[in-house]
Amino acid sequence: MLGNIRIVMVATSHPGNIGAAARAMKNMGLHDLALVTPKLFPHEEADARAAGADDILKAARVFNTLDDAIQDRHRVIGASARLRTIRWPQLTPRECAASIAEGGSALKSAIVFGREHAGLTNEELERCHYLLNIPCNPDFSSLNVAAALQVVSYELFQTSLGAPLQTLESDIEPATGEEMESFHGHLIQTLFDIGFLHERKTSPALTRRLRRIFNRAALEKTDINILRGILTAVQIRTRMGKPPTP
Amino acid sequence: MLGNIRIVMVATSHPGNIGAAARAMKNMGLHDLALVTPKLFPHEEADARAAGADDILKAARVFNTLDDAIQDRHRVIGASARLRTIRWPQLTPRECAASIAEGGSALKSAIVFGREHAGLTNEELERCHYLLNIPCNPDFSSLNVAAALQVVSYELFQTSLGAPLQTLESDIEPATGEEMESFHGHLIQTLFDIGFLHERKTSPALTRRLRRIFNRAALEKTDINILRGILTAVQIRTRMGKPPTP
């Protein structure tokens, strides 16, 4: 279970936090660290705080975009302290660990942690299938990013100790993040084609909600193929219906 | 429950760890911090890492001995990474939280964290009624002291919330079974309209799979409205595209 979990840190400012994160990960049996546009990395402060987890730092990969870092992931979970106006499926750390364990041994997941002061942007959160929220003092709810990562890693490890090894549905092929993105692109394009969306009248709330519906559905590759088949059929019918271009 | 728990840090070397501990405590609703012979305190690095939990640092009391720090405590729990030759009753963080909760509101407890590199001495451990051990990777089992404190505080806070965590999203209006059925009917009709399904070529496996996708998405009333709006838009475009009936 732990081998298929990637920790993604987005735009981390303090290299010390990256080192502390590596240490927390290694303590809890995690090893796959992805860094999206870290401010300073590699850095001696990261090495110092890693305190023996330098193998995690050495193996860490740096990406230019969050999309690149989660491209091959089936499930993406974004850590968020703020309550968002948009309701997104939320998990506690324990529920997050249970959900990953239930996904079985083939499920590749990513848990995404945002900037020290600003967390993840709404656009980044939209890439996530779930939000992860650590219940805490509502008057002082901003955990240090490495501390949050320590709590989540701890829950993952505790769950892994008791996780059943085999999965119930082993022949399921979940869609990757890349396939989900292509599907969303196709969906939005089709909504323009049929006039449901207009250039001057796009609603981020609406497209976000559509994203959420399909993220929550835990789509398989086959589901994606069927849904895109339907979208293509709609596009063909729509083009047939258009008056011929002059 | 949280008001009667004292966190004791023994002979901490790095003031940054004291600051991070204060932040972790405040995040999790704890406020009583005792420092036994800290190397550097107060210190600007502690203030920096506290990141807003300076009230905890200001109220922290400094003691010359562990005995002084735990003098008024009914139950003393010592954090220890090492397996001791001496067998002492051991608790996981979750068991520790449960044990304190069961002790009731009058129980004054202390949780004691040792030095960065050497933990607690045997003499200090003998002052403790229980040892607290965080299950983790046996090949890399030394957590940073503030990280360990974060994990333990997190478990205390979760336990203080009371047994079952209720769901975070209470104002969601899920779709009824009837609404789901109407939606499925509308979807299937639209698939006929666009020619994706034909009278002579319907696939029960396909319609079942579509059902499953949307059932899994746990649709709300609002989701249903949006999806049916899209289906209606498709139907209108499709009718426009049809040659006029003779």
Q: What is the pLDDT of residue B53?
A: 97
- Rounded Cα–Cα distance for residues A114 and A11 (Å): 7
Instruction: Tell whether A223 is within 8 A of chain B (Cβ).
Output: yes
Contact B137 A27 (CB under 8 A): yes
Q: What is the pLDDT of residue A33?
A: 98
Tokens read off for B166: 């209720």
- Rounded Cα–Cα distance for residues B236 and B61 (Å): 73
B198 bridge partner residues: B201
- CA–CA min distance A99, chain B (Å): 14
- Return the C-alpha torsion angle A50, A56, A61, A67, nearest 10: -90
Q: How far is CA B60 from CA A147, B46, B65, in A?
A: 21, 12, 15
B20: nearest CA in chain A?
A144
DSSP B115: B
Reported as a pLDDT band with limits 50, 70 and 90, residue B169 is very low
- Of A143, A116, A120, A124, residue with least CA distance to A13: A116
* Cβ contact A77:A128 at 8 Å: yes
Q: What is the pLDDT of residue B83?
A: 59
Reported as a pLDDT band with limits 50, 70 and 90, residue B88 is confident
Which comes out higher in pLDDT, residue A60 or B1?
A: A60
pLDDT higher than 70, residue A203: yes
Q: Quick check: ipTM above 0.85?
A: no
* Cβ contact B237:A240 at 8 Å: no
Instruction: Tell whether B195 is within 8 A of chain A (Cβ).
Output: yes
pLDDT higher than 50, residue A17: yes
Q: What is the pLDDT of residue A146?
A: 97
pLDDT higher than 90, residue B163: no
pLDDT higher than 50, residue B184: yes
DSSP B37: S
Contact B158 A141 (CB under 8 A): no
Contact B230 A196 (CB under 8 A): yes
Q: What is the pLDDT of residue B80?
A: 87
Interface contacts (A, B; CB < 8 Å):
157
φ/ψ of residue B77, rounded to 5: -125, 125
Tell me which residues of chain B, numbers 14 to 73, contact chain A at a CB-CB cutoff of 8 Å.
20, 23-24, 26-29, 49, 51-53
Average pLDDT (B10-24) is 98
A227: nearest CA in chain B?
B210
Instruction: Tell whether A191 is within 8 A of chain B (Cβ).
Output: yes
Concatenating the DSSP letter of every residue in A1-18 gives -GGGEEEEEES---HHHH
Q: Calculate the average pLDDT of chain B.
A: 88
**Do the domains A2-162 and A177-241 sit in the same CATH topology, yes or no?**
no
Reduced to 3 states, what is the DSSP secondary structure of residue B140?
coil
- Of B155, B86, B99, residue with least CA distance to B125: B86
Q: What is the pLDDT of residue A45?
A: 97
Q: What is the pLDDT of residue A88?
A: 79
CATH (residue range A2-162): 3.40.1280.10
Instruction: Tell whether A144 is within 8 A of chain B (Cβ).
Output: yes
What ranges do the domains of chain A cover? 2-162, 177-241
Reported as a pLDDT band with limits 50, 70 and 90, residue A5 is very high
Tokens read off for B191: 């698939």
Contacts of B142 in chain A (CB under 8 A): 27, 51-52
The verdict on domain B2-160 having CATH code 2.60.40.2550 is no
Reported as a pLDDT band with limits 50, 70 and 90, residue A212 is confident
- Pick from B143, B233, B241: which is nearest to A196 by CB? B233
Contact B157 A147 (CB under 8 A): no
CATH T-level fold of A177-241: Helicase, Ruva Protein; domain 3 (1.10.8)
Instruction: Tell whether A13 is within 8 A of chain B (Cβ).
Output: no
Q: For a pLDDT cut of 90, what percent of chain A falls above it? A: 64
Average pLDDT (B33-57) is 97
Instruction: Tell whether B221 is within 8 A of chain A (Cβ).
Output: no
Which pLDDT tens digit goes with each residue over A128-172? Answer: 999 999 999 999 998 999 999 999 999 999 999 985 544 444 567
- Rounded Cα–Cα distance for residues A29 and B138 (Å): 9
Reported as a pLDDT band with limits 50, 70 and 90, residue B116 is very high
Contacts of B196 in chain A (CB under 8 A): 229-230, 233
Mutation to test the B interface, candidates A13, A95, A144, most B Cβ within 10 Å: A144
Reported as a pLDDT band with limits 50, 70 and 90, residue B242 is low
Lowest mean pLDDT among A17-31, B154-168, B184-198: B154-168
Q: Calculate the average pLDDT of chain A.
A: 89
Given the DSSP bridges, would you call strands B5-10 and B32-36 parallel, antiparallel or unpaired? parallel
Average pLDDT (B223-239) is 90
Look at the block and give the residue holding tokens 């008057």: A139
Contacts of B218 in chain A (CB under 8 A): 216
Which residue type, as a one-letter code, is found at position A179?
E
Tell me which residues of chain A, numbers 64 to 123, contact chain B at a CB-CB cutoff of 8 Å.
87, 89-90, 92-94
Reported as a pLDDT band with limits 50, 70 and 90, residue A82 is low
- Pick from B52, B226, B240: which is nearest to A140 by CB? B52
Instruction: Tell whether A188 is within 8 A of chain B (Cβ).
Output: no
- Rounded Cα–Cα distance for residues B20 and B145 (Å): 9
Contact A194 B237 (CB under 8 A): yes
Average pLDDT (B148-166) is 83
